[in-house]
Amino acid sequence: MPNMRLAILATVFAGTTLGGCHHQPAPSSSAPAAAQAGILVTGGRLVLPAVPGNPGAAYFTLVNQGHSAAILNSVVIDGAGQAEMHETAGNAMQPLPSLNIRGGGSAILAPGGKHVMVFALAPRLVAGTTTQVTLGFSDGSKLTAPLSIEAPGGAGGAGAMGGMKM
Ligand SMILES: [Cu+2]
């Protein structure tokens, strides 16, 4: 499954390269307001893995202030090779292809529940800095929000050294 996703990503990147150098769709000119009306992202954070090379996890809260449901169906994190929505069920995790947030509702991605598994983290993603997540919705809109990067174990302190070996 991860290999398949990587193959798809590779194809997308190859196509983008042929078309010119606009693999970043000008984030500054497409303000968050361009996203589906009324969606807010708060508390975004990326928790680094305890063992470098392992996947990390991203968490945030989505609030749908609109009247109609919003369906989140893609997650892209700057500096990560791949990001997948998962849901923890008992001791296992299952891929979550999409996440439906009803009008007036919210969705919380938090440890032990729904989360974004983040693969192939770039070395520049270190605790105490930030990166960005871009959420794609079923209506084609996108929303970009900051993720503060945390050391494994949460508080951003003690575990940080493990990820900072030189
Ligand atoms: Cu997971």
- For the chain, the structural domain boundaries read 32-152
Instruction: Please tell me the distance between residue 61's alpha carbon and the centre of ligand 1 in angstroms.
Output: 16
Instruction: Please tell me the distance between residue 41's alpha carbon and the centre of ligand 1 in angstroms.
Output: 20
Confidence of residue 35 (pLDDT cuts 50, 70, 90): low
Q: Look up the CATH number of domain 32-152.
A: 2.60.40.1890
Instruction: Please tell me the distance between residue 89's alpha carbon and the centre of ligand 1 in angstroms.
Output: 10
Flag whether pLDDT at 79 surpasses 50: yes
Burial call 30-65: b when 16+ CB within 10 Å, e when fewer: eeeeebbeebebeebbbbbbeeeeebbbbbbebbbe
pLDDT for 153 equals 77
Instruction: Please tell me the distance between residue 1's alpha carbon and the centre of ligand 1 in angstroms.
Output: 13
Confidence of residue 125 (pLDDT cuts 50, 70, 90): very high
Flag whether pLDDT at 29 surpasses 50: no
Q: pLDDT for 155-165, tens place per residue?
A: 444 333 333 33
Instruction: Please tell me the distance between residue 118's alpha carbon and the centre of ligand 1 in angstroms.
Output: 8
